[in-house]
Amino acid sequence: MPATEKTVRRSALVASAVLLSTALTAPAALAAPGPKPSATPPAHTSIVGGERLAKPGTQVNLAAGVPVLPKELSARSWIVADAESGEVLAAHNAHWRLAPASTLKMLFADTLLPKWPRTTTHRVEPSDLAGVGAGSSMVGVKEDETYSVHDLWLGVFLRSGNDAVHVLSAMNGGVDKTVQEMNEHAKELQALDTHAVSPDGYDAPGQVSSAYDLTLIARSGLQKKDFREYCSTVRAQFPGETKKNKKGKRVRGSFEIQNTNRLLSGDYDVPVYQGIAGVKNGNTTNAGATFTGVAERDGKVLLVTVMNPQKKGSNGVYKETARLFDWGFAAAGKVEPVGELVPPKSVEEANAAAGPSASPGQAGGGTGAGSKPVASADTGGGADGMGVALGIAGGVVVLLAGGAFLVNRRWPLPDLVRRRPRP
C-alpha cells in the first residue's frame, strides 16, 4: 500500500477513534468508581491502533511456528508490543478503560520531566503536601526540607511516592494545572482512553486508562533520557530529615530506597527478569495490581502492560508480565501483528503534511541519527549505577544509536543501551 494511502487511512481511523473515545469518556468522568470494575469488557472500544484492538477478548494471529500464549493469564487487560516498530504482537481487551493506579505516574513524569533541570531545588511547604490521599505510598518527603528535582523524581519512580508527586505538582502551579496538562499530553499521545483526575494515580471517580494507553505513554517516556534513568534505577539514597546530633550540630543524613518494581529489584518469589529496565507498577483498591514493563533480549525491545490480574497470589502482576515477555520474545519475528502503537498526533500530522518523499523527522526526545549513543550512565546522587542502561548480563552493548521517526512507523528508542547486570 502506498505511504500516502496509509497516512490517509490512519488519519481516518484516528478521527473515528477520537469521536468514539469522547463518547466513552463523558459518562465515565461522572461516575464514581465502584469497589470492583465490571467483570465484562465493553463490546465496543477505541479503534486507535487498529480495528482488532477494539474487539473484546484475546487478539493474536497464531500460525505455524508461533508459540501458544501462556495458559496462566488472569488479567482483565494486557498487551505485548514491539517498542521499536510499534507493532502489537498480541492483546487482550487492549482498550478496556480501567483504573490505572500508579502506572498513571508515567504520564505525570512524561508531562513534567522536561520542566526543570535535575539540579533545581525546592523547599517543601506544608501546602505542597495537602491533598495526599490516605494510605498513599510515600517516599518520606518532609515539610521545611529542601530537595532537588532529581531526589523527587527518584521518589516518584522508585517508591511511587505520592508525596513527591504532590511537591512536583506544587512546583508546577498546583494539582489542577498539572492534571490539566497531563490530560492535554494524553491527547497529544493519542492515549484517548486516558482521563487523569489525580496526578499520582490515587483512586478517583472517572480516573481511567487502558493497557494500550499505558503502553503508548511508556513508549513516549522512554524517549527521554531522564525517564529511562529513573525507571531503571534499582536503589538510591534519599535525603532524610535534618536533626541535631549529639554535639548539637544540625545534620542531615539519608536513607536507602529501593524500586518497588519486582521484576527489576526481585522478591522472594519473583526473580529479576533478564533484560528488564522498568517501567512502572501500581496497586490500589479499585485498580488492583497494574504494571508496564520494558525489556530487551537478543536485540529485541518489548513493552508489556498487565492490568488487574484476577488470580490470587503474591506478585501475580509480575509473574503474568514475565510470562508475556517470554512469549513475546519467542514470538517476535514469527507472529503477524494485530495492531500498532500510533505515534503522537503532532508527529503523525507532520508526516502527513510532509508526504512520503520527505526526509524522516527526529523521534521526540531523541538524538540525531549521527549522534554518538550513550554506552552507559551512572544515576549519581547515591544510586547504584544502573542508570539508563537496559539489558542482560554480558557487558555494555549499544542497541540503538539514535534514530528517526519514519513514515513506515518505526520509532526507535534513542541511545537505549543494555543495563549492567546486577551483582
Residues serving a catalytic function are: 102, 105, 160
CA–CA separation, 402 and 185 (whole Å): 24
Partners of residue 121 on adjacent β-strands: 148
CA–CA separation, 61 and 48 (whole Å): 19
Q: Which residue has the cell 550512565?
A: 377
Partners of residue 292 on adjacent β-strands: 280, 305
DSSP string, 157-198: HHH--HHHHHHHHHHTT-HHHHHHHHHHHHHHTT-TT-B-SS
Instruction: Dihedral sign for Cα 404, 408, 409, 415, please.
Output: negative
Residue 175 vs residues 110, 170, 184, 270, 298: alpha-carbon distances, Å: 16, 7, 14, 35, 42
CA–CA separation, 140 and 269 (whole Å): 27
Query: Which amino acid appears at position 269 of this protein?
Result: D
SS (H, E, C) 337-368: CCEECCCCHHHHHHHHHHCCCCCCEECCCCCC
Q: Helix, strand or coil for residue 92?
A: strand
Instruction: Dihedral sign for Cα 389, 392, 264, 53, please.
Output: positive
CA–CA separation, 251 and 245 (whole Å): 7
Q: Which run of H or of E encompasses 111?
A: helix 105-112
CA–CA separation, 345 and 231 (whole Å): 25
Cα 175 to chain center, whole Å? 20
CA–CA separation, 157 and 261 (whole Å): 9
